Chain A
Amino acid sequence: MKTRDEIARALGDAGYIADGELAIAIALMQQLRRPLLLEGEAGVGKTEVAKALAAVHATELIRLQCYEGLDQSAALYEWNYQRQLLSIQAHRGADADAVEDQIFSEKYLLERPLLAAIRRERSPVLLIDEIDRADDEFEAFLLELLSDFQVTIPELGTIRATAIPHVVLTSNGTRELSDALRRRCLYHYVDYPDIDREARIITTRVEGTSASLALQIARMVECIRKEELRKVPGVAETLDWAAALVGLEVKDLHDAPETVHETLMCLLKTQEDKARVSREVTQRLLGRVA
């Protein structure tokens, strides 16, 4: 088992600047074999954790995006009905039992993310993204899979995990998750990064950003997040903005206030927010960025 520092370093190499606590959470995932539930505002980089984790373990990332109405056939498995029908036609006149055995075999099984995750030889990272968007029924179905790592397909029997996947669940808090699900998981609340960490994220992810510019950008974003906005910019937006500024060859935010204001569209995603952060507001915020 890797130590916290080793994990933090490995995540850093994979492009994710983690805080110390997240590294402990990942160490615990391995030690206790529990899924990790990441909760936090949209845009704080929850999904990125799973991607970085896959890079750290040098393993496959299998992603299940949840939505209202997501059911087992979309998440677990489905039979390839068209092929089954063709096969029935082709074997017309043959023994019915034999045909049935054949059409309900591996060959006609369509693997969906959850089944794929438990049938891999090498533990993949299974990302169950935005679990709060799925229905209660799906959450209940997931409980069984997450605690026993096995599924039952009526025609094939029980399939046990060959290698237990590293499971990461993310939630934006649009719906209250059940206590049962929460208790099966380790919990980590992902907050917006502090200024130093965000500056490090910028220098790591956006090529050509100087340390001083990254710090200025991080400070400016921090100030903007404190404004009353409908949609608070996340880390991804910060990176977009940094890339835009670097692309426009801005070396220092104070030297190019006009460009700063015009590129704020990378951070502000609604008309209302754009109107709120006027030229004067941008000036005021720039004044706070030393």
Chain B
Amino acid sequence: MSCCGASPDLDDINEVSRLVSRKLAAFLRTLRDSGFAVGLAEGQDAATLMAAGYAARPGLLRSALKHLLSTRKADWDRFDGIFDAFWLGKRVRSRSIATGAAKPANNPSLKSLPNQSAEPRAGAETAIDQIPSVDGVENERSGDGRMEGASRADNLAEVDFRNLADPQQVELAHLAAAQLARVMRTRLTRRDLARRRGYRLDLRRTIHGNISHGGVPLSLVRRQRKPKPLRLVVLLDASGSMSMYTGVFLRFIHGVLDEFREAEAFLFHTRLAHVSDAMKERDAGRALDRLSIMAQGAGGGTRIGECLQTFNRWHAARVVHSRTCVMIVSDGYETGDAALLGREMAALGRRCRRIAWLNPMMGWRGYAPEARGIKAALPHVDLYAPANTLASLRALEPYLARL
């Protein structure tokens, strides 16, 4: 394939190639601005292709550059539109609302999200320090500092859930939470298996089995560790003060629990409800529907202490054992007896491996755990972390992995 017919003046050729390379560089920049991961090597290969004659045939060039410069399905779907807009001056087709979880970052409508991240972010950063390690967040940055995966939804990741007023944005946050949970679940399951995989040599059987070889250990017998399933018990506050967060949490927890490990889920407000069965619903939408009916509080405040008492009395013996992490998601506004809450937390703490308390309020600037409930509970909590944005949910992963 050759792009040139007659042989024009050398200066002209240089001028043309200069123009083409400048245009190509501008195109690569456009792609980078649109979130494509285009590095130097890709740029060089693109230039090689242009020089090899692809430049003369737009259809062929588009397809070749699409393979070279796209790195994921979302890129693949958008590439043709961007190419046509840039090289052929066509209008980019407006895309309808994202349906996949990975798409929110790429949805142009997200760019209009109000920049309300400053306030929660300031609080979140200081608060995340209380999580033992946040290297999971760091790990998601690749060498060149480009974010990848779910973290591409940066603008959404830092927005406090309560600031998502538009139903469309709420839906996007739900999708992103479900996607985050899915990614996390895969990694956690894998770590679980890897942890179990530590083979040890069974010396007695090895020697016994190699007597016929004169005692030379030709075939080694290894002992496999017995799997010890870890259990997660989630207690979710579904009271009025938490209403802005309940939806996203339900989606997140549904994602984490689904097919994951031994897990139980409870909702509480003035009463405690066992919702594991509803959580087992495969379809996230149906699960949410079932749960939101159960989650409708009586509006009489939150009786965390009494609910915990019920939990300890009726459920704990069955669902909590020494390898259980209890995760309480609540803002800690106790309208009942705070002393009772402290006592029940202590009782629960004796039963389980760890108690993690996730508090959406913690991400707010100037928040201090002054409420009676949370003050009484805190001495018995192993992890106290914010959970008001997708970023803070993501920061939980290293902790969950160490269960």
Q: Which residues in A have some Cβ–Cβ distance to B below 8 Å?
A: 4, 20-21, 24-25, 28, 31-32, 34, 36, 39, 68-69, 82, 85-86, 89, 135, 173-176, 178-180, 182-183, 185-189
A189 with B76: CB separation less than 8 A? yes
A89 with B60: CB separation less than 8 A? no
A187 with B75: CB separation less than 8 A? yes
Complex contacts, B76 vs chain A, CB 8 Å: 187, 189
A182 with B68: CB separation less than 8 A? no
The number of chain B residues with a CB under 8 A from chain A is 38
Complex contacts, B223 vs chain A, CB 8 Å: none
23 interchain pairs, CB-CB under 8 A? A20-B63, A24-B60, A24-B63, A28-B64, A32-B49, A68-B194, A69-B197, A82-B219, A85-B216, A85-B218, A175-B183, A175-B186, A176-B148, A176-B183, A179-B37, A182-B72, A183-B37, A183-B39, A183-B71, A187-B72, A187-B75, A189-B73, A189-B77
Complex contacts, B48 vs chain A, CB 8 Å: 31-32
B73 with A82: CB separation less than 8 A? no
Q: Which of A36, A176, A182 has the most CB of B within 10 A?
A: A176
Complex contacts, A89 vs chain B, CB 8 Å: 216
Q: Per-position contact with A for B229-240: 1 when CB-CB < 8 Å, else 0? A: 000000000000
A182 with B37: CB separation less than 8 A? yes
9 tightest CB-CB pairs across the interface, nearest first? A182-B71, A176-B149, A179-B148, A189-B76, A186-B67, A187-B70, A24-B63, A25-B67, A179-B142
A174 with B186: CB separation less than 8 A? yes
B190 with A186: CB separation less than 8 A? no
Kindly state whether residue B146 has any CB partner on chain A within 8 Å: yes
Q: Which residues in B have some Cβ–Cβ distance to A below 8 Å?
A: 37, 39, 41-42, 45, 48-49, 52, 60, 63-64, 66-68, 70-73, 75-77, 142-143, 146, 148-150, 183, 186-187, 190, 193-194, 197, 216-219
Whether A135 touches B194, Cβ cut-off 8 Å, given contacts A86-B218, A176-B183, is yes
A180 in complex: contacting residue of B45, B143, B149, B216, CB < 8 Å: B143
Q: How far is the CB of A209 from the nearest CB of chain B, in Å?
A: 31
Q: How far is the CB of A150 from the nearest CB of chain B, in Å?
A: 18
A179 with B186: CB separation less than 8 A? no
A68 to B193: give the CA distance in the assembly, Å.
Answer: 8
Whether A187 touches B186, Cβ cut-off 8 Å, given contacts A89-B216, A179-B37, A179-B148, is no
Count of A-B contacts judged by CB separation below 8 Å: 81
A62 to B190: give the CA distance in the assembly, Å.
Answer: 26
A178 with B142: CB separation less than 8 A? yes
A179 with B67: CB separation less than 8 A? no
Complex contacts, A178 vs chain B, CB 8 Å: 142, 148
Complex contacts, B71 vs chain A, CB 8 Å: 179, 182-183, 185, 187
Complex contacts, A135 vs chain B, CB 8 Å: 190, 194
A41 to B87: give the CA distance in the assembly, Å.
Answer: 31
Complex contacts, A34 vs chain B, CB 8 Å: 45, 68
- Beyond A68-B194, A176-B149, A187-B75, 15 extra complex contacts between A and B, CB < 8 Å: A20-B63, A21-B67, A28-B67, A28-B68, A32-B48, A68-B190, A82-B218, A175-B186, A180-B142, A183-B39, A183-B42, A186-B68, A187-B67, A189-B70, A189-B77
A86 to B210: give the CA distance in the assembly, Å.
Answer: 13
Q: Which of A4, A24, A179 has the most CB of B within 10 A?
A: A179
Q: Smallest CB-CB separation from B179: which chain A residue?
A: A176
A174 to B187: give the CA distance in the assembly, Å.
Answer: 10
Q: Smallest CB-CB separation from B220: which chain A residue?
A: A81
A208 to B390: give the CA distance in the assembly, Å.
Answer: 55
Q: Smallest CB-CB separation from B191: which chain A residue?
A: A135
Q: Smallest CB-CB separation from B61: which chain A residue?
A: A24
A82 to B49: give the CA distance in the assembly, Å.
Answer: 51
A89 to B143: give the CA distance in the assembly, Å.
Answer: 48
Q: How far is the CB of B278 from the nearest CB of chain A, in Å?
A: 19
A34 to B70: give the CA distance in the assembly, Å.
Answer: 14
Complex contacts, A24 vs chain B, CB 8 Å: 60, 63-64, 67
Q: How far is the CB of B99 from the nearest CB of chain A, in Å?
A: 14
Complex contacts, A39 vs chain B, CB 8 Å: 72-73
Complex contacts, B217 vs chain A, CB 8 Å: 85
B68 with A69: CB separation less than 8 A? no
Q: Smallest CB-CB separation from B70: which chain A residue?
A: A187
Q: How far is the CB of B394 from the nearest CB of chain A, in Å?
A: 13
